Structure 1
Amino acid sequence: MALIVQKYGGTSVGTTERIEHVARKIKTFRDKGDDVVVVVSAMSGETNRLLELAEAVHPHARGRELDVLLSTGEQVTISLLSMALARLGCPARSYTGSQVCILTDSEFNKARIQTIEQERIREDLGKGRVVVVAGFQGVDEHGNITTLGRGGSDTTAVALAAALKADECQIYTDVDGVYTTDPRVVSDARRLDRITFEEMLEMASLGSKVLQIRSVEFAGKYNVPLRVLSTFVEGPGTLITFEDEDMEEALISGIAFSRDEAQLTVTGVPDHPGVAYKIIGAVSALNIEVDMIVQNVGAADGLADFTFTVHRNDYERAMEGLREAVEKLEAREVRGDTRIAKVSLVGVGMRSHAGIASKMFEALGREGVNILMISTSEIKISVIIQEKYLELAVRALHDAFELAGPPEERVDSAGT
């Protein structure tokens, strides 16, 4: 008998029919004798609907009251799923984040989990019940409802699995695992049997939408076996685990990409100590995260050009914040481009193999794709290119590194 924590996302519980399907799936685990704790998201589209209501009443609503509103989405799901399980003769009990006491800090809209009380959960499991917990939410030390930010249900599930020392944390979604790249871009993308926490963390941070970044960090920190599976298609999914010797055989595990990029360049900057801080500091002061950075210094005039990237949603604010800094520095100008994208190769095999960067650049060059910026780490190479070449670049790299698998390992025609 195993203790399993399962998480079902919004699409998995998007209708009452799908909730009933999830209930039947959970019952098969209970019938095998497993103890099951289930974490669910709000029904698909519900969080957006609640945000629209808040926007209509108060366009800039934030903080405590917004968390009170958003937490109601998961409360609907836990009650409906518990009813569906009871109808199947499978005893279940639902809990909101505050009822099960998922204690967080007081950072409304982006709270972090501090501790989880286990007594109620273990008592219910001991009585043969399925425990159904609302994801995405908790409670602070003052009794205020808090939420963990978008995708926070993944973090709830991993945190529960860590606290309960579960045998496995299973993340059920509308895809049957982690693929070498997005199957909507590369039709012969291959499902990975396993991937390391480190690789998954890189892919999540670089644009892969399968798992939320914080949940992967949590799983790696507490050594929680994590598996991504499909709610709708039976299969082994993808196991996210620690690196072992066999994993080094694969040079590249996947290709991640992001269209949500923007580039800013400050030209003609005097090359003095502290200049980089004055430029990046002006952007960081606006709570904008800076990603890739390149600085070039001209030998003739001693002036530098400073280029960096931000999320496209932050472009206008970053541009505005830079203008004052540019005037103080007496730089020539600040210009930007929102028609760029980032493509990244990820793989632990990079640690022990040379020539991956040159192979990447060669493949892009053959397709006429110009590289605007380059960034590397121990297991990642990222390039900034023009957005119009994004899909061409991803397909070219997928072919160059021979990431396609046999037909049975590829995504099916339904995109799941």
Structure 2
Amino acid sequence: MALLVQKYGGTSVGSVERIKNVAERIAEFYRQGHDLIVVVSAMSGVTDQLLQLASQLHPEPSEREIDVLLSTGEQTTIALLSIALHALKIPAVSLTGAQAGIVTDGKHTRAKILNISPKRIKELLQQRNVVVVAGFQGQNVEGHITTLGRGGSDLTAIALSAVFHAECCQIYTDVEGVYTADPRIVPTARKIDEISYDELLEMAASGSKVMQARSVEFAKKFKVPFEVRSSFTNVAGTIVKEEVSAMEKVVVRAVSLEPSQAKVTILGVPDKPGIAAKVFCRLAEAEINVDMIVQNISDHGLTDITFTVHKNFLKKALVALESVVSEISAREVRATEGIAKLSVVGIGMRSHSGVAAKLFSSLAEAGINVQMISTSEIKISVIIDEKEGKRAAQIVHDAFQLNNPL
């Protein structure tokens, strides 16, 4: 039978009862004759609890020790799930990321996978064990525990699927798949049967929390198709795979809303070569991710540069800009919170016109002002007032008739 890689998120293993349910699901696949590598996250809430404990001891704890601390969350889950499988008479062995042969670079709290040694897992599979692997973690070449950052368990599962050429990679979560919008924001959102890597990447970059962008990028690079589905039902999920021509028939695949954004404008910037480089190099040095960027037309040798960041990084961005603003002789810096990014995504945009017109018309008719615009080949994003976010998402979703079955 086939080799399956399954990943279960924190909500799927959030209690003893849920771990038992996951074990029953795994046991069913095992009894059908499948080989199984199962990747798990920490139980929901555990990672936050561990971080709170660390913060009570030190305001800025060592990243190395944070990795050691957080890795225990997944290690608890792998042991509990293996015990639950043993209770069902299913042979199972739990492995930490290091024991599973996952080698990373040395960047603590946001490491990248460099290599996976398959020997140990292969031996256990040959002995007909279910191999339960701690997601989100690995070990660097010096033997230190490292973690992969937010959504790292998804990355672990997809990387293992690539290395072992799994027949199927299933990402189990608390939703039944990828939707045309967040159902909590747009109640009429519909589950998507198939979506391309590029579309899901753009959704992830636009605020969708279904999958971490790094995981999707890895899947695309190594051509690993995967399914996002619920661990609470047996309903088929969403298949994420390489683009096929039939996908272009759908002009807009989904609407994404990313709240909690902030806008920074540097006024009176000299319009000459190297100025923008100085600004954004300084932000990069502070490890601040900048999203949308707009530069106004030059007037009398001066221009304005506006960009957006997550509001949690606004203070850090302003501190980083303090010295560079005087260095480039800019007039002042202004910051605005309370904004959101609304995006429409679809590979059909490459071959169909009128998407921008419909997007802007629908927002205008609803009296929603657009503050900034950014485009890519398969995405259009706008910045709007955060208070209008949910209403705008529903309006745009309706305008493109995304609630209608294909």
Please give the TM-score of this superposition, normalised by the length of structure 1.
0.95
The offset of 1:322, in angstroms, is 2.1
SS at match of 2:267: strand
Matched, 1:275 2:278: no
SS of equivalent to 1:170: strand
Q: What are the superposed Cα offsets for residues 53-111 of structure 1, whole Å, 9 maximum, x if unpaired? A: 11111220132221111111111111110111111111111111111221111111111
Q: Quick one: distance in 2 between partners of 1:281 and 1:111?
A: 22
Give the deviation of 1:329 after TM superposition.
3.0
Contact 1:206 / 1:256 at 8 angstroms: preserved in 2? yes
Query: Residue 55 of structure 1 aligns with which residue?
Result: 55
In the alignment of these two chains, the number of paired residues is 406
Give yes or no for contact 2:373–2:380 (8 Å, CA) kept in 1.
yes
Superposition map of 1:360-379 within 5 A: 360-379=359-378
> Is contact 1:188–1:405 with CA below 8 Å preserved after alignment?
no
**In structure 2, C-alpha distance between the alignment counterparts of 1:231 and 1:356, rounded to whole Å:** 36
Shift of 1:298: 4.7
Aligned equivalent of 1:314 = 313
Task: Tell me which moved more, 319-328 or 100-109.
Answer: 319-328
User: 1:414 is matched with which residue?
Assistant: none
Contact 1:167-1:225 at 8 Å conserved across structures: no
Answering whether residue 255 of structure 2 is matched by residue 255 of structure 1, we say yes
Q: CA deviation at 1:143?
A: 1.3
CA contact (8 A) 1:42 1:74 kept: yes
2:251 is equivalent to residue 287 of structure 1: no
Matching residue of 2:333: 334
1:323 aligns with 2:322: yes
Residue identity (%): 54
Secondary structure in 1 matching 2:260: strand
Q: Return the alpha-carbon distance in structure 1 between the equivalents of residues 146 and 278 of structure 2.
A: 35
Once residues 325 and 64 of structure 1 are traced to their aligned partners in structure 2, the CA distance between those partners, rounded to angstroms, is 31
Paired with 2:165 and 2:214, the residues of 1 have a C-alpha distance of: 18
Q: Which residue in 2 is equivalent to 1:204?
A: 204
What SS does the corresponding residue of 1:111 show, helix, strand or coil?
coil
Contact map agreement 2:271 2:298 (CA 8 A) in 1:
no
| Residue type at the aligned position of 1:40 | V
> Is 2:95–2:134's contact at 8 Å kept on the other side of the alignment?
yes
Deviation at 1:277, TM superposition (A): 1.9
Please state how far the C-alpha of 1:314 moved relative to its aligned partner. Answer: 1.0
Equivalent position of 1:138 in the other structure: 138
Which deviates more, 325-334 or 375-384?
Answer: 325-334
The yes-or-no answer on 1:187 pairing with 2:176 is no
CA distance in 2, matches of 1:67, 1:322: 30
| 1:9-408 to 2 correspondences below 5 Å | 9-299=9-299, 301-405=300-404
CA distance in structure 2 between the partners assigned to 1:380 and 1:62 by the alignment: 39
Could you tell me how far apart the structure 1 residues matched to 2:3 and 2:117 are? 17
SS in structure 2 of the partner of residue 291 of structure 1: coil
Shift of 1:150: 1.8
RMSD: 1.3
Matching residue's letter, 2:350: R
Distance in 2 (CA, whole Å) between partners of 1:134 and 1:284 is 32
Structure 2, unmatched stretches of 5+, are: none
d(CA) in 1 for partners of 2:332, 2:145: 46
* In 2: Cα distance, 1:351 partner to 1:264 partner: 31
Residue identity in the other structure for 2:106:
S
Q: Determine the C-alpha separation between the residues in 1 that align with 2:336 and 2:395.
A: 24
Residue pair 1:154, 1:171 contacting (<8 A) in 2 also: yes
Determine the C-alpha separation between the residues in 1 that align with 2:404 and 2:172. 23
CA contact (8 A) 1:168 1:226 kept: yes
CA distance in 1, matches of 2:76, 2:166: 26
Check the 8 A contact 1:189/1:405 in 2, yes or no.
no
